[in-house]
Amino acid sequence: MRTTLFVLAAILAALPVAANAVEDKPPKLEPVPDIAPPAGIPDAELEPQVTINRKGENKIEEFRMRGRLYMIKVTPRHGKPYYLVDQRGDGQMRRYDDLSPNFVVPMWMIKEF
């Protein structure tokens, strides 16, 4: 009796699988929705772009954000590097021998209300 019930249960379980095999219809596929990037990934526009040039024996690194030059680091072949910084955003660079506590980080308006 138990064997008969077991065989009957196995046949009933296999019926839906056999019915799908007989129809031969491919399953209906739906497009995957676009997924937003994770919250921890910074925007590429907000990262500084660094251009390194050589002028004579000096190495010059230009730091730009959204195409605007805000800092230049000059590393002479002999001596300490120095920085030219545009603090006011007026295009006038001021010289600093190091990035001391008086150094002001460039700031941009993120959103206006």
For the segment 89-103, what is each residue's pLDDT rounded down to a tens digit? 787 887 777 666 566
Question: Residue 102 carries which DSSP code?
Answer: T
pTM reported for the whole predicted model: 0.49
Instruction: Kindly state the tokens that stand for 55.
Output: 């002028």
Q: Which architecture characterizes domain 46-96 according to CATH? A: Single Sheet (2.20)
Q: Distance between CA atoms of 96 and 50, rounded to whole angstroms?
A: 19
Confidence of residue 60 (pLDDT cuts 50, 70, 90): very high
Q: Distance between CA atoms of 73 and 67, rounded to whole angstroms?
A: 17
pLDDT of residue 62: 92
Query: 53 and 62 in contact (C-beta within 8 Å)?
Result: yes
Query: Where in 15-57 does DSSP place strands (E)?
Result: 49-55
